[in-house]
Structure formats: C-alpha cells, structure tokens
Structure 1
C-alpha cells in the first residue's frame, strides 16, 4: 500500500509517535479523504448487514387485520344487589369502570382458550397442526397455552376515556381465519361474560331460605307450646283485654266507693232527721164556729128590729150592744174553742223511714259491689302480674318469630328476583351491542419495506462507524493538513511510500 508522508522543517527534536497519536487534529475535509481510504471496508460491512436485512425481509409474510367494535352500556349485572340487608343497594360503577371491566373480560385467557378450542388449533396455527395432532394431552395443553399467548399478541383492544365503544382487531396470515377468530371471540364473549358476571344457578339464597324456614318451624313449635302450656290463646289480645278490664274495674270501684260514701252520708242525715221527727201527728182539727153563728144571727135580728123600730129605739140599742160585745169577744179570741181533732202516723216520719230503708239497702248493695270490684281488681292484677312474668319469654319468641318470618319472606323475594334476573340476562345482553362484526380483510400488510429501509439505514450507519473506527486507529498523521494542524508547522512537501 502506498501513502504519503509529510516532510517538515523542525527547529527542534521531532515528537514521538505517541505524541502524534495523542495530538492528531482533523478538519471536516480530512474525514472525507480518510473515509474514502476505508471505502472497501465500509462497503463490505454495508453489504453484509444489508444482505442480512434483505434476507430477513424476504421471509416476512403478509398479515391481514380483521376489525370489529362493541357498544357497552351499564347493565343490570353491574347494579349492586346485597344478598342481605339494604346497605348500598343500587350502587353502580361509572362508564369508564364498566368499559375497563369489559375490556379485561375480552382479553382474558379463558376466553382466548375457548376461541381456540371452538375454531380449532390447527386452523389458527397451521404450522403447528401436525405437532398438535401427535402431542400428548399434556403437550396439547402446553400448545394451547402457547396459542393463547400468540392470540393475545395478535389481538388488540382499544378504549378511550368517556367513550362507550370498544374497538377490537386481530391479525393473522389468513384473512378468513382472522375473521373467524374475531367473530368467534365476540360470540364467546357474550356467553362468557354472562356466566362470569351473573354466575350459574346459585342455590345460596334457596339454602338460606330453607334454613330460616326450618328455624321458623322450630320457633313456631316453641311458641305454640308456650301459649298452650300457660293457657293463653292470644297473649297480646289477652293482655290488652286484661288491661282494659283492670281500667274498667278500677273505675267502677272508685265510682262505687264514691256512691257508697254518698249513700252513707245521706243515710246518716236521714237517720238524724228521723230521730227528731215524731212518729205521730194530728191529721186534722175542727174549730168551734158557734160565736160566729150567733153573731150572724144577732145581726139578722137587728135588721128585723130596724124594720119595726127606729135606730134609737131601746130594743135596737140593746141588740147592737150585744153585737158589739160579741164582735169584741170574737176578735179577741175569747169565744174560740177546740172542736173535733184526729191524730195518726206522721207522713214525714214515714217518708224518712222509707228513705232510710232504701238508703240502707243501697249501702248494703254498694258495699257488696265494692267488695266484688275489689276482688275483681285483685284477680286482674294477679293475672297481669303473671302475664308480665311471661312477657319476656313471649317477646323473645315473638321477636324471633317475626325476624325469621321476615327473613323467609325477604329471601323468598330475593330468590324469585334472582331467578327472574338470571332468566332475563340469559336471554340476551341488552347492554352489549355489536356495532360492527369482523369481515375478511381484502388487503394485507407486510413489514418488508420498513425492514429494508431500516436495514439500509443501519448498514450505512454501521459502515460509517467502522470506517471512522479504522481511520482513528491508524498510526501517524494521515494527511498533510492534519500534520500541519497537529504540529503547528507548515508542510513543505509530501512523498508517497510503500509499506
């Protein structure tokens, strides 16, 4: 190989080779010259890398992408229904949470395995069909697991915030297989999500209801034994009746006591009046009217005398003197005298006696009534005390009975609602709509051109790097300009030499 060496006029000792290598300085024009010297090396590196990329690109096949989309809304299966109680009943997630949940279900490994088994492993992966057919059950499980991962790499699920649309795409070398796999994925997804979100036939509610019904039957037996053992038909009604009867008996007792006090006071008053009233009294008495009759007769006689005599005649004056004397006696009461008189039983005394007898009878009757009411109040109080002693046990049995009855009713309602919900959900998924089913793509995509471009760029870059490395590793000063720049001396001449 021939090259050019630089001669310089050095006023002192030249630097060593290590100084040249350490202090060599290059300009951009030097790189062009030096890289041109390494053109054969760079060409070899470029061709080697480019041919490798070209060979790899020729092995790539076209892939076909099938696309589809789903419209997801909030469904009944996302509404929270507690099995017991009402806490947080009706709580629902937001749209993004629902979309995220549905996306996770679409990308689940179980769903991909269902698709592989339904479409067929050999059809989706024809290159491994013979290996799958001759594999053992364990080997087939491993191949299906690998197929699940391969389907996951080819399956793309896209979502956007605040958007109810889920977009799906699947790549495969066969457009028919891409269409079949994606449509099968949608069909199996609608079935799998119902079994996952709603579940199968769960007998938990029925078992719980039967358990409460059994406890209720045992409680009913204890409840009836308690009532019959204590001679009670209806505890609440009997207690209410006894309470009312107690109130009535107390009221009647107080009223009877008041009446008894009233009758006893009236009886004492009547007895006092009776003691002061005589048993007999004058029934009637006749008055002596002879003086009045005689006075009237004298007046008649005077009138007769006046018819014969003058008023100042002696006979007239005599009779008038008699009349005057008699009138004076009548007016003074000297002529009054007792006539006939009749006496007998005193009517007032008889009335008082009758009243006393009636009051005595009433007092006796009221005393007996008061004793009866007191006994009745005592009996009612004793029965109420007995019921009060039995009330805690009755309340416990009644409370357990009511709670168990409510639980049986609630779980029966929940069981029927759950069955209806499962039946309606099993008939279809109204909240999931397939907006677009997959169709077999007519055009495929290949990475040959991008691989060739990348191989060309990478080969060129690698070749340039190899040339630079080779250039920088060569000893000495490669160009006169570099030597002058490095040594800071002018280059006077150059000469070619052979190694």
Structure 2
C-alpha cells in the first residue's frame, strides 16, 4: 500500500524533484527498437572501421614459406667421454634431449648471424640495404642484431615427442630468398654444430700429457737414483730372491742342526762303546786233535786185524778196548788240550775308534757349517730388514711411476681418439641427415582475408557498442513499455515527437 502511494505521487511532483536515481528498465524488444533508432550512427562507425581495415589490408604483402626437415640420431658427440678417469663413461642422453639440443642450436642467434653474413645483409633485408651501407660499424652491428631478431620471428622450428624429425619453416616476401635463407641455415648449422659439440683442437689433452710426461721423467730420475744409491738392481726380484734364500738358509740350518745332534749322539754312543771295548784280543788259536787222530788210527788198525783175525780174537778185543777207552776220554774231554794261540789289536776297537774319529770330524764340520748357516741367516735377515725399511719409499716411487705411466698412456690414447673423432666429425655428420631441403614456394599466403574478417567483426562490435552507449545516454524513457516497466504504472497514451525546425 505504501509503495502504491509513493508511485502515485510521483507524476504530481515537479520534474525537477523526481527521483532520477531510478534506472530505466528494458526488455529485449526495447533494445531492438532503440538500436534501430541509432542505426545511422552504428552504420557510420561500421563503415569507417571497415574502410580503415580494408585500407590497411591492401598494404599487406604475400609471404612465402619455405620448408625443410632434418632427421636426427644419437651421434658420437653425445657420448660422454671423460677427460680423466672412467666415471660415467659411455653415458648418453635420450632421443628427446638430443632433439631439443639440436633445436636449440638451430634457433641460436649465432647461427642466424652467420646466415646473414654469408648471404649478405643487403640481400636478406633489401629495404635496409642503404641504411646498412652508410652505417658505422656500431650501427651495422645493431642492424645485424635486428636482422637476427627478424629472422627469428619468421623462422619456425617444430619438434614432437618420441620423434627424430625436426621441421623448419621460414617466411619471406620473396620465395627465392626464403629458400636461400633456409638452405643456408641448414648448411651453416651442420658446420656450426660440429664446432660447438666437438670443440676446437685446444690441445688440452696434449698439454696435460706433457705435464704427466714431465712428472714421469722426474719420478723416473728419483727412482733410478734410489736404486743406485742403495745398490739395488731390481728391488722386487732382489726381495724375492732374498726371501727364497732365507727359506733355503733356514732349512739348511735346521738340517745341519739335526745332523749335528745325530752325529753328537752317535759320537757319544761310540765313545761309550769304545771305552768298554779292549784294545787287544786273541786273533786265533789252534785246537789239539791228536786223540781224534789216534782214535782214527786205532780204527784203521782194527780193520787191518779183522783181515787176519776173527772178531773175538785177543788182538781184536785189545784194540776194541783201546778204541772204547779213547772214545770215553774224548767224550769226557780228558783228551782235549790247548793248542797254539795268537793275540793282536782288537778289530772292533779299531772300528769303533775309526767311527769315533769320523764322527768327531763330522761333528766339527757340522759345527762349522752351523755357525756359517747362522751367519748366513743373520746376513739375509739383515738385508731383508734393510729392504723392508726401504720398501715404503720404493713403493711410493713405484706407485707414482706406475700411475704417471698409466696416465701418460691413457692420455696418449685419448689424444689420438679425440683427434680421430675430431677429424671424422669434421668431415661428416652421419647422425644428422637432411630429409628435405628447402625449395622456393610457388604459393604465398597473405593476411588480407583474416584482417578483413577481423575488421568486419571488430567494426560490427564497435558499432553495436556505440549504439548501446548512445541509447543509454539519451535522457528520459525511450519507449512506453520501458516507462511502464520502470515506473510500475500503465501508459494510457503516447504522443509523437517532432524536432523543431
């Protein structure tokens, strides 16, 4: 109720006291009506912008795009070869890293500057030829820098993941120049990348090898001086010989000591036996065989009597009695008597005496040998101890000498390999192949059509904006529907508006 009273009081108030803070409310149909009222303004803005865009598009020239492509593989220059040591030897990047590296080289400013200098600044940028010809050296340097940036804007390098192809394109107003710039870029790229990746022959390996050779010469001098000062021909062989000699002398000493103990024991035994053995003994003695001979004679006589007498005859019985009596005496030992006997030196005593003398001589000789062996062992041990004292210094000199020799050998090999690699790489780039060289494009592209399309779209948008601005800036309520919607009151009648003459 309060709202109705407030709005009903508005028409009765003077116009100067109305609440102009209330905004006009429009419907979509109102926009169409109101914008149609501003059609002349919108048409003028549209035509002006279209004319300006068309005039600008007529100044645009055709650009010709030359295209080429490269096939890139992993090359020897990407294989890591350490200058010293073997850590990380043979490490290689993946294909994408190689492609990105080659793309960066293709897009480098140095390469673009080489192209400009080879073709000629005036040929690449004929519009700036007169300015370049009259410029100072500093001015020429700045113009070349601007030319590098201009080539960079027109040069396009495309790569794709997991793809070994690099695509290049270059735009220029002249198709021949587009072809020439792109082909020159490829040629200079093949030369520039070799110098960049392989490097110049800076003789670093040669200088380092010379340093090692000088150190090796000094170490060799110290090594030879060490050997001559200590009277050593070959330290390792001499130490091995002394070690072997020590083993032999020790073994010989133990053998002599064992023989000496054996001979001393035998000498003591022989001396004891010699003391118990008499110096003289019976050499031989004769036995008394007369009884046996007489017995045999009696038996022969009996046999003779039996040839003349009977066995029971008195002579035979007498001789039998004699034979029986003699046999009993022989059996009882009554007929045994001592014969002749001879005495002399005891052979056993002589043998023992000879053995003792021999053993005594052997013992004396073994004692001398033992003393000699002990002295030899002492001498060998002393020489080994002297070598042991000299061994740390010898090992240090030998280690330095071996390390320097190995370094000289390694750097010699590396120098030769580096030289061979540099020569091979300078002659060819087997891992870079030009798949397609640039050819002069027959068709050019111009931005006239896109510029005109954008101009028309921009002109339409600007004209619409101008109409809306003009519509909203007009005072009052423009349509009966807008007035009724804004004031929340019905419009009963409308009157036409006529401009003053």
TM-score (norm 2): 0.95
Give, in whole Å, the separation in 2 of the partners of 1:155 and 1:423: 32
1:365-395: CA deviation from partner (whole Å, max 9, x where unpaired) = 1111111111111111111111111111111
Asked whether the equivalents of residues 20 and 476 of structure 1 are also in contact (C-alpha less than 8 Å), the reply is: no
User: Secondary structure, in 3 states, of the residue corresponding to 1:264?
Assistant: helix
Residue 6 of structure 1 is matched in structure 2 by none
Q: Aligned with 2:82: secondary structure?
A: coil
In structure 2, what is the equivalent of residue 86 of structure 1? 86
Deviation of 1:307 after TM superposition, in Å, equals 3.6
What is the count of residue pairs matched by the alignment? 490
Does 1:488 find its partner at 2:488? yes
Matched with 1:114 is 114
Q: Which residue of 2 aligns with 1:470?
A: 470
Whole-angstrom CA distance in 2 between matches of 1:305 and 1:491: 218
Partner of 1:175: 175
- Once the two structures are superposed, the pairs formed by residues 298-313 of structure 1 within 5 Å of their partners are 298-313=298-313
Contact residue 20 and residue 477 of structure 1 kept, 8 A:
no
Task: Please say if residues 21 and 476 of structure 1, whose CA atoms lie closer than 8 Å, have aligned partners that are also in contact.
Answer: no
Structure 2: distance between partners of 1:320 and 1:202: 143
Q: Find the aligned partners of 1:78 and 1:447 in 2 and give their Cα distance.
A: 43
Q: Residue 249 of structure 1 contacts residue 377 of structure 1 at CA under 8 Å; is this kept in 2?
A: yes
Task: Output aligned runs, 1:95-134, within 5 Å.
Answer: 95-134=95-134
Q: Name 1:268's counterpart in structure 2.
A: 268
Q: How much does 1:193 deviate?
A: 0.3
In structure 1, C-alpha distance between the alignment counterparts of 2:8 and 2:402, rounded to whole Å: 121
Point out the more displaced range, 164-173 or 348-357.
348-357
Q: How is 1:13-162 mapped onto 2 (pairs within 5 angstroms)?
A: 13-14=10-11, 16=15, 19=19, 22-162=22-162
Structure 2: distance between partners of 1:382 and 1:23: 121
Tell me the SS of whatever aligns to 2:494. Answer: strand
The corresponding residue for 2:3 is none
2:495 partner SS: strand
Which shifted more, 126-135 or 294-303?
A: 294-303
Larger relative contact order, structure 1 or 2 (CA cutoff 8 Å, min sep 6) = 1
Q: Compared with structure 1, are the counterparts of its residues 13 and 190 closer, same or farther at alpha carbon in structure 2 (3 Å cutoff)?
A: closer
Q: CA offsets per residue over residues 442-465 of structure 1, 9 Å max, x none?
A: 111001111111111111111111
Give the secondary-structure state (helix, strand or coil) at the position aligned to 1:339. Answer: strand
Distance 1:297 1:82 in 2: 126
Shift of 1:343: 2.1
For 2:313 and 2:114, the matched residues in 1 are separated by 172
1:279 maps to 2:275? no
Find the aligned partners of 2:369 and 2:490 in 1 and give their Cα distance.
155
The answer to whether the Cα contact below 8 Å between 1:20 and 1:486 also exists between their aligned partners in 2 is no
The 10-residue stretch of structure 1 (53-62 or 183-192) with the greater mean CA deviation from structure 2: 53-62
Q: State how far apart, in whole Å, the 1-side matches of 2:142 and 2:172 are.
A: 21
Shift of 1:483: 2.2
Query: What is the distance in 2 between the residues matched to 1:447 and 1:62?
Result: 8
Over aligned residues, Cα RMSD in angstroms?
Answer: 1.6
Separation (CA, whole Å) in 1 of partners of 2:20 and 2:476: 6
Secondary structure class of the residue paired with 1:162: coil
The separation in 1 between residues aligned to 2:177 and 2:70, in whole angstroms, is 20
Q: CA deviation at 1:481?
A: 2.4
Q: Which runs of 5+ in 1 are unaligned?
A: 1-9
Aligned to 1:423: 423
Q: 1:136-170 deviations in whole A, cap 9, x for unaligned?
A: 00001111111111100000000000000000000
Q: Give the CA deviation at 1:61.
A: 0.6
- Asked whether the 8 Å contact 1:205–1:411 carries over to 2, the reply is yes
Which residue number corresponds to residue 192 of structure 1? 192
